[in-house]
Amino acid sequence: MHSGANVSVQYVKGVGPARKKLFMQLGIETIEDFFYFFPRRYEDRRHLTPVAELKIGEFQTVCGKVLASESRRSWYTKKHVSELILDDGSGRLTCIWFNQPYLEKYFQGAKQVVCYGRVEMYKNRLQMISPEYELINSEEDESLSLKRIVPIYPLTRGMTQRYLRKTIKSCLDKYKDQLHDELPVFLRNKHKLANIKRSISNIHFPESFEDQEAAMRRVSFEEFFFFQMSVILRRLSITHKPGISHKISDSFVLSFIDSFAFKLTSAQKKAIREIRQDMEKGHPMLRLLQGDVGSGKTIVALFGVMAAFKNGCQSAIMAPTEILAAQHYEKILSFSKEGLFNNLRIALITSNLKEAEKEKKYQEIKEGKIDLVIGTHALISQDLNFKKLSFVVIDEQHKFGVRQRALLTEKGSNSDVLIMTATPIPRTLCITLYGDLDVSVLDEMPPGRGKIKTVLYKSEQSSAVYELVRNKVKEGNQAYIVYPIIEESETLDLKAAQTMFKQLQKNEFKDLRVELVHGQLKKDQTQKVMEKFRNKEIDVLIATTVVEVGVDVPNANVMVIEHAERFGLSQLHQLRGRIGRGSQDALCILIGEPVTPEASQRLKALLSTTDGFKIAQQDLLIRGPGSFFGRHQHGLNELKFANPITQLDILELARREAIELTQQDPKLESSINQPVKEIIRKRYPTYLAMVEAG
Ligand code: ADP
Ligand code: MG
């Protein structure tokens, strides 16, 4: 991008190999990356609240002199406790951290410290538990971190706000002039958008919140615009391709709908109608099927499979994990056992197939002796070829990239594609974000499902929770107990699941059948445990987030989630979706204490609703779309700064401009549009490659 700023961070003063590594962890490799490393939030430190005027229960910022800093081991919890007492002249505040013994030294000799956290009153003194902290030791610190609107950046272990702020400031001072504007001038003028240099400055060190908002508007507009351009171009290229047009009769549709022991929901029927129409057309289908966990997506997908089968074609279902692939396989097999799909020949491709077996299956697939192939991304392997693939299902789309999706569809001659996702996205958003897809929504649950009750407990109350679980098990239920794995401290948390497994097995649940699954078990081992759990040979399953997606055990109606504050909201919702799948009411127990406003918002949302759409909306609001969709997972959602929920107006504006431009020049052939095309090529390479290939 901006040529001159495209040099390594090593050229920045004071950045050696160790710091370079830390920056890499934050995704910062070049000076330009610093410019686009945006604050996670801002603190208005123009007027700090004096300690004497702090409001109990609210998140606030305090700046004071260090009166004392010490650490000790709590005889009660065995935790290491660091304590800092701040004095700002109006009063004193105690700040407490656990298990960070290095803090005692860190604060010694500090002139001033800034803390941000929730203020509590404990034994008559004001305190904050695990607040964010910053040292103020020099005039430079003061100028960047006090008496102004201060940017707060996402950090990694070993990196401080203070250092990051200083580094970004010095990069801005030195290299800002090398930023070039990529947004076409006519758009900038038309929408009165500031230039990029000013905008980037105002995002990091704004003088006012108005300046900061205007700057965000500008970068968001730019991001939305190029993103919409790529989406619309891709859409145009698909609708122009020839595809297979399936013959589907009314009677076939009716007999499919009638072939189950239960009535399909009207949402399922509507989705089936939509898929039918698409499959009949002479252009490839590219459709997203959205539906909360348990809404019955599999059956809708099966309709497409049967329609392809009826037309003498093959289908493929690609799932994100082997457990899920196996589950689809069994589910569909059980339908066939009931005589529904007698003649459908199905193959499950897994990584633990023996070589000879695999070859045999591949051969059969190639010869058209298999009608439906189910597997993981093994399906896109080079040596798997189909005779006549015409329908492809991609389950849990957020785990796959645009590229993988394309690879699978290329195996057929422009097969129809159905993408299934349990992450619901609000309607308006969907059109704009997934502008290259058509969308069907299962917004209705099959009748007769139990309700899920969700409650929150503090960690001190865990013995009561275990007692509750015991009682539920005695009533014939099965339970999950889930522990977090968070990337930075994966080993640490894995230990937590393991240690707790040992402890619970020996003590609280000694007379129950307890087992453990986590992501580092071998696949077949995981599968074996899940199998036992499904067969009711396990009462309590201790697990990490491996149980998150799609696992289906209707008798497991109790779930305990430990450290619930550490999970993302959508993840919590997915986890909780594992229970309440039978007709009985289910119980979800969250254990945790939120230490950030975001965490407390997340838990509040989860306690207040089980509606996946509402939860997704909340999650988008709390997190912003970048982390909601997983940043680098697919080109579809490579929005880094712009937030399609809070900035929907800008998104729509940008989309309108993109539509207008593509109407004038659908393939961006005119010479004035070449710069725009180059930028799309750079930012969304897979997209443009697919457009040009098509
Ligand atoms: P999803 O993939 O959307 O999470 P599934 O397709 O796995 O949901 O369906 C969940 C369960 O509900 C399955 O056991 C399925 O057989 C069942 N089911 C699907 N549709 C209906 C319906 N209309 N009525 C009753 N049960 C249904
Ligand atoms: Mg499913």
Structure tokens that stand for 345 in this block = 């020949």
Q: How far apart are CA 667 and CA 223, in angstroms?
A: 20
User: Which ligand sits closest to the CA of 552?
Assistant: 1
Phi/psi for 240 (5° steps) reads -95, -10
Each residue of 601-624: b (16+ CB within 10 Å) or e? bbbebbeeebebbebbbbbbebbb
Q: Any idea which fold 452-629 has?
A: Rossmann fold (3.40.50)
Q: Which atom of ligand 1 is nearest to the CA of 552?
A: 7
Percent pLDDT > 70 in the chain is 89
Phi/psi for 434 (5° steps) reads -105, 45
Q: How far apart are CA 137 and CA 112, in angstroms?
A: 7
Burial (CB count within 10 angstroms: exposed 0-12, middle 13-18, buried 19+), residue 31: buried
Most confident of 146-160, 187-201, 414-428, 620-634: 187-201
C-alpha 432 – ligand 1 centre gap (Å) = 29
Q: How far apart are CA 579 and CA 556, in angstroms?
A: 6
- Residue identifier of the C-alpha nearest atom 10 of ligand 1: 294
What pLDDT was estimated at residue 433? 67
Chain centroid to CA 410: 27
- Residue identifier of the C-alpha nearest atom 13 of ligand 1: 296
User: Which ligand sits closest to the CA of 581?
Assistant: 1
C-alpha 335 – ligand 2 centre gap (Å) = 15
- Residue identifier of the C-alpha nearest atom 23 of ligand 1: 264
Q: Cβ neighbours of residue 277 under 8 Å, at least 6 residues apart?
A: none
- Residue identifier of the C-alpha nearest atom 2 of ligand 1: 297
The residue assigned the tokens 């004095």 is 87
Domains 43-144 and 452-629 share a fold: no
What pLDDT was estimated at residue 490? 46
**Overall average pLDDT of the 460-469 stretch:** 92
C-alpha 422 – ligand 2 centre gap (Å) = 8
Please report, as a single letter, which amino acid is at residue 167: T
What pLDDT was estimated at residue 531? 85
C-alpha 299 – ligand 1 centre gap (Å) = 7
- The CATH class for the domain spanning 250-442 reads alpha beta
Calculate the average pLDDT of the chain. 86
DSSP string, 60-93: EEEEEEEEEEEEEE-TTT--EEEEEEEE-SS-EE
- Is the confidence at residue 1, as pLDDT, over 60? no
- Is the confidence at residue 334, as pLDDT, over 90? no
- Residue identifier of the C-alpha nearest atom 19 of ligand 1: 296
Q: What is the pLDDT of residues 508-527, one digit of tens each?
A: 999 999 999 887 777 778 88
C-alpha 578 – ligand 2 centre gap (Å) = 11
Binding-site residues, ligand 1, Cβ < 6 A:
262, 264-265, 268, 291, 293-299, 446, 552
What pLDDT was estimated at residue 402? 57
C-alpha 300 – ligand 1 centre gap (Å) = 10
What pLDDT was estimated at residue 403? 61
Phi/psi for 245 (5° steps) reads -105, 115
Q: How far apart are CA 550 and CA 528, in angstroms?
A: 16
User: Which ligand sits closest to the CA of 444?
Assistant: 1
Percent pLDDT > 90 in the chain is 46
DSSP string, 127-176: EEES-EEEEE-SHHHHHHHSSSEEEE----TT--HHHHHHHHHHHHHHHG
Q: What is the pLDDT of residues 346-371, one digit of tens each?
A: 999 988 788 999 999 999 999 999 99
C-alpha 298 – ligand 2 centre gap (Å) = 6
Phi/psi for 475 (5° steps) reads -80, 0
Phi/psi for 515 (5° steps) reads -140, 170
The residue assigned the tokens 């549009």 is 673
- Is the confidence at residue 545, as pLDDT, over 80? no
- Is the confidence at residue 316, as pLDDT, over 60? yes
Instruction: Label residue 636 by pLDDT band (50, 70, 90).
Output: very low
Structure tokens that stand for 422 in this block = 């349990």
Q: How far is CA 91 from CA 48, 51, 60, 115, in A?
A: 13, 5, 15, 14
Structure tokens that stand for 372 in this block = 């439906």
The pick from 259, 295, 297, 298 for probing ligand 1's pocket by mutation, whose C-beta has the most ligand atoms within 8 angstroms, reads 298
CATH number for the segment(s) 43-144? 2.40.50.140
Q: How far is CA 266 from CA 425, 445, 447, 595, in A?
A: 20, 10, 11, 43
Q: DSSP code of 213?
A: H
Q: Which atom of ligand 1 is nearest to the CA of 577?
A: 4
CB of 361 within 8 A of CB of 349?
yes
C-alpha 689 – ligand 1 centre gap (Å) = 37
Count other Cβ atoms within 10 Å, centred on residue 156.
Answer: 14
C-alpha 245 – ligand 2 centre gap (Å) = 27
- Residue identifier of the C-alpha nearest atom 15 of ligand 1: 296
Of the candidates 593, 594, 588, 584, which has an alpha carbon nearest to the alpha carbon of residue 608? 588
91 versus 439: the higher-pLDDT residue is: 91
Q: How far is CA 231 from CA 225, 296, 404, 405, in A?
A: 10, 29, 17, 15
Would the pTM count as exceeding 0.95?
A: no
**Overall average pLDDT of the 644-649 stretch:** 80
The residue assigned the tokens 């009063």 is 91
User: Which ligand sits closest to the CA of 449?
Assistant: 1
C-alpha 331 – ligand 1 centre gap (Å) = 10
What is the total residue count of the chain? 694
- Is the confidence at residue 106, as pLDDT, over 50? yes
CB of 497 within 8 A of CB of 521?
no
Structure tokens that stand for 661 in this block = 């431009």
Most confident of 173-177, 270-274, 519-523: 270-274
C-alpha 190 – ligand 2 centre gap (Å) = 46
- Residue identifier of the C-alpha nearest atom 6 of ligand 1: 296
Alpha helices in 321-478 (DSSP H): 322-337, 355-367, 402-410, 427-433, 462-474
The pick from 265, 272, 299 for probing ligand 1's pocket by mutation, whose C-beta has the most ligand atoms within 8 angstroms, reads 299
Please report, as a single letter, which amino acid is at residue 3: S
What pLDDT was estimated at residue 411? 67
Q: Which atom of ligand 1 is nearest to the CA of 554?
A: 14
CB of 98 within 8 A of CB of 115?
no
- Residue identifier of the C-alpha nearest atom 9 of ligand 1: 296
Structure tokens that stand for 617 in this block = 């909306």
Q: What is the pLDDT of residues 417-451, one digit of tens each?
A: 998 987 777 666 776 666 767 889 998 889 888 88
Structure tokens that stand for 416 in this block = 């129809």
**Overall average pLDDT of the 152-163 stretch:** 89
User: Which ligand sits closest to the CA of 577?
Assistant: 1
Of the candidates 95, 107, 114, which has an alpha carbon nearest to the alpha carbon of residue 43? 114
CB of 264 within 8 A of CB of 257?
yes
- Is the confidence at residue 117, as pLDDT, over 50? yes
Q: Which neighbouring-strand residues pair with 72?
A: 81
Chain centroid to CA 337: 37
Most confident of 145-149, 485-489, 517-521, 690-694: 145-149
The helix (run of H) or strand (run of E) holding residue 662 is helix 648-664
3-state secondary structure at position 335: helix
Q: How many CA atoms lie within 13 A of 416 on its CB side?
A: 28
C-alpha 295 – ligand 2 centre gap (Å) = 8
Count other Cβ atoms within 10 Å, centred on residue 108.
Answer: 11
Cα dihedral angle (318, 320, 323, 329), rounded to 10 degrees?
A: -10
Spans of all domains in the chain:
1-40+153-180, 43-144, 181-240+647-694, 250-442, 452-629
Q: What is the pLDDT of residues 663-677, one digit of tens each?
A: 999 888 899 999 999
- Residue identifier of the C-alpha nearest atom 24 of ligand 1: 446
Q: Which neighbouring-strand residues pair with 128?
A: 95, 119
What pLDDT was estimated at residue 241? 81
User: Which ligand sits closest to the CA of 583?
Assistant: 1
Q: How far apart are CA 667 and CA 677, in angstroms?
A: 9
C-alpha 327 – ligand 2 centre gap (Å) = 9
Q: How far apart are CA 433 and CA 612, in angstroms?
A: 18
How far apart are the two ends of the chain, measured CA to CA in Å? 27
Q: Which neighbouring-strand residues pair with 64?
A: 113
Q: DSSP code of 487?
A: G
- Is the confidence at residue 682, as pLDDT, over 90? no
- Is the confidence at residue 566, as pLDDT, over 50? yes
